[in-house]
Structure 1
Amino acid sequence: MRPVHREWLASLGDTLILSGPTDAGGAVLVFEAADAASVEALLDADPFVTDGRVVAARSVVGWTVVLGRLASAL
């Protein structure tokens, strides 16, 4: 499933800012979108989600970048 998932991620263009696995067995994905509901709808099409066996849980929250090395890039 990982190659199909990564193809899907690559197809998102500029909407996807960052993504990658964590050392805790999960992943972090950062999107630029109007709101959390838009990201929820987008993630519903993720092959890891549609497969039904890969994603056990997810959390989508809004985030306001204030400081940091990447702040000026966003």
Structure 2
Amino acid sequence: MLIDKWNLIIDIDRDKCHAASVNRLTFRSTNALSNTNSDNHVATVNRLQLASCGSDWSVRILNLDF
């Protein structure tokens, strides 16, 4: 299946992005606990972590909850 259109899912602030080229990306699927309502009901949300390392000598880890 060929995908011919991209959909923007998240927009990341430029201050949190690499200042040079990205050398590696890796994803990890985890579960996270989250307070979802005023009753302090704790629920598990699906979390995808994206780790990247760049030529600017920085490592960035983003948590994407959905």
Instruction: Work out which structure has the larger RCO, using CA pairs closer than 8 Å and 6 or more positions apart in sequence.
Output: 2
TM-score (norm 1): 0.23
Structure possessing the higher radius of gyration over alpha carbons: 2
> Which structure has the highest strand share of the two?
2
